[in-house]
């Protein structure tokens, strides 16, 4: 058994440090690099790309609503034209910077409120796909497993990476519990690691009501801004080894 482990990275900007990227990189196989709209700035983006290449970690762009103050986690109402331009701009920036160091951008994963909006919206998902393909039609789209995003991508034969979460609580509908509710973010390393093993071996999670919810994922995310991220990753490493599961760096084009 194998699994891709991804993390949101490069979210620090200016004098504001978010996450602990240096400690996280040795434990992941893919990274979602902030594009400057919810976190990140040109210098941190460039430094994160260099670190990803040095660690042999697959690189994805992590575009967001333009919401630096809210860390991209507040919903916004944008026209199709505006959303198209915003996603295109962000993906193009990270793709160009990655290629300037001899690397290759492999996929795009929307961030925060944009990710959740796409997971339940046909039109937003289609606009994101259109923007990605305006840059490179070989780029994969990463999104919530079992969501509208996955359904539209599969229907359009878009290369898709189904994602689940190590450190987020699920609802009975297979969606992520709202961050405004207590317990939505899992900070207990052992509970998080157990959820990862359940996702891989049983393709299910325990919801916030205690029900089993089927989730079939190819990549599992840990949020870089979770204060427990490093401890969670260390515990995941331990449980993966105990269960004979190998972390796999998925190559571009697979």
Q: What is the CATH number of the domain that holds 188?
A: 3.20.20.370
User: Would 253 be classed as within a structural domain?
Assistant: no
Angle at 243 between CA 238 and CA 244, to 5 degrees: 100
Q: How many CB atoms lie within 10 A of CB 207?
A: 17
**pLDDT reported for residue 225:** 87
Domain span including residue 215? 2-247
User: Would 211 be classed as within a structural domain?
Assistant: yes
Whole-number mean pLDDT of the chain?
95
- Summarize pLDDT for 198-248 with one digit per residue, the tens: 999 999 999 999 999 999 999 999 998 898 999 999 999 999 999 999 998
Question: For residue 250, what pLDDT band results from cuts at 50, 70 and 90?
Answer: low
User: Would 254 be classed as within a structural domain?
Assistant: no
Q: Which element (helix H / strand E) includes 32?
A: strand 30-34
- Does pLDDT of 252 surpass 60? no
Report the relative pairing of strands 140-144 and 105-108 from DSSP bridges. Answer: parallel
Domain total in the chain? 1
Q: How many CB atoms lie within 10 A of CB 252?
A: 15
User: Would 139 be classed as within a structural domain?
Assistant: yes
User: What beta strand segments (E) does 63-199 contain?
Assistant: 105-108, 140-144, 160-165
User: Would 20 be classed as within a structural domain?
Assistant: yes
User: Would 138 be classed as within a structural domain?
Assistant: yes
Q: 205 has which bridge partners?
A: 213
Nearest residue to 9 (alpha-carbon basis) of 38, 34, 44:
34
Contact 6, 60 (CB under 8 A): yes
Among 26-35, 109-118, 119-128, 242-251, the least confident range: 242-251
User: Would 242 be classed as within a structural domain?
Assistant: yes
- Summarize pLDDT for 139-156 with one digit per residue, the tens: 999 999 999 999 999 999
User: Would 252 be classed as within a structural domain?
Assistant: no
pTM as predicted: 0.94
């Amino acid at each position: 058994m194998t699994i891709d482990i991804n993390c949101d990275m490069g979210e620090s900007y200016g004098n504001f440090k978010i996450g602990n990227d240096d400690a996280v990189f040795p434990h992941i196989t893919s990274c979602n690099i902030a594009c400057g709209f919810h976190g990140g700035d040109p210098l941190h983006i460039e430094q994160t790309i260099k670190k990803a290449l040095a660690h042999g970690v697959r690189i994805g762009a992590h575009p967001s609503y333009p919401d630096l103050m809210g860390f991209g986690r507040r919903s916004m109402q944008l026209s199709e034209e505006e959303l198209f331009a915003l996603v295109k701009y962000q993906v193009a920036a990270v793709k160009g910077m990655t290629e300037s160091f001899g690397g290759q951008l492999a996929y795009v994963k929307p961030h925060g409120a944009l990710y959740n909006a796409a997971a339940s919206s046909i039109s937003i998902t289609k606009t994101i796909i259109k923007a990605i393909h305006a840059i490179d039609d070989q780029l994969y789209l990463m999104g919530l497993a079992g969501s509208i995003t996955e359904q539209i991508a599969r229907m359009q034969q878009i290369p898709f990476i189904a994602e689940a979460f190590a450190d987020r609580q699920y609802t009975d509908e297979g969606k992520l519990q709202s961050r405004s509710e207590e317990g939505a973010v899992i900070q207990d390393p052992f509970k998080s690691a157990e959820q990862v093993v359940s996702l891989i071996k049983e393709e299910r999670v325990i919801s916030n009501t205690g029900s089993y919810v089927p989730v079939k994922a190819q990549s599992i995310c840990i949020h870089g801004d979770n204060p427990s991220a490093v401890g969670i990753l260390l515990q995941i490493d331990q449980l993966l080894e105990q269960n004979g599961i190998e972390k796999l760096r998925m190559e571009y084009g697979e």
